[in-house]
Amino acid sequence: MHKPSLIPDFAYDPPDVPLDILHEDAAILVLNKPAGLLTVPGKLENRQDCLIARLQAKRWDALTVHRLDCDTSGVIIFARTKQAQGFLGQEFELRRAQKTYVARLQGDLAGDSGTVDLPLGSDWDYRPRQKVDHDHGRPAVTDWQVISRSPGETRVRLTPHTGRSHQLRVHMLSLGHPILGDQIYAPETLTHHKRLMLHAESLSLHHPVTKDRMTFTAPVPF
């Protein structure tokens, strides 16, 4: 028997803000994505407004390389040629691309650093949730390091070594410290936090033309 979803209906209200272009050249475009904006169009009619659509209105040749969750802000890269798109895709697939995130977690996380190594898979009864799944999940690894502590929360830097859906959100939940403002995994925190407190702070990879390693950063907005 199918269980009813526990996830509230997703009310899509993307922010009306200008594009924040961090870097631009003939091969790539690097942007600072705002929270609340889809990277690519959703399946429903009212979810066509997204970052790639807004970008292509200004730079017609922009091509998607990877995605950030709708509620996550921060550094994201697009290609401007098919060749660049293929090269950058390989950077992510072969794990040559390195990403760091900053998050604010609920509660006082014990210790100063650590690694979460737990396989993840879809929670089909409660989509779009993901869950730790030791039987059928795909490998997922996240390093974490405490940046600071304040009453009732811990600020951490997260370095994922894999790119599973909702990886950082589920891995922090598995530690007993969900990310604040998470409408899926910590809806009780939405009273005080109107957005997901997760930001893609930096992205490091090789340039598709020069092959030089480049690092792009976006300031944490919270």
What are the tens digits of pLDDT across the range 181-200? 999 999 999 989 989 999 99
Supply the range of the domain harboring residue 186: 21-217
pTM greater than 0.85 (yes/no): yes
Instruction: Answer yes or no: is 135 within a domain.
Output: yes
Q: Is-contact 169 162, C-beta < 8 A?
A: no
State the catalytic residue, choosing from 25, 49, 61, 69.
Answer: 69
Q: What is the pLDDT of residue 107?
A: 98
Regions of the chain short of the pLDDT cut 70: 1-10
The letter for the amino acid at 111 is: G
Q: How many residues does the chain have?
A: 222
Q: What is the pLDDT of residue 10?
A: 66
The 10 Å Cβ neighbour count of residue 206 is 16
Instruction: Answer yes or no: is 190 within a domain.
Output: yes
**β-pairing verdict for 98-106 and 73-79:** unpaired
Q: What is the pLDDT of residue 9?
A: 57
CATH number at residue 69: 3.30.2350.10
Place of tokens 């502590």: 149
| Annotated catalytic residue 135 | no
Instruction: Answer yes or no: is 142 within a domain.
Output: yes
Residues 5-46 have pLDDT tens digits of 445 556 899 999 999 999 999 999 999 999 999 999 988 778
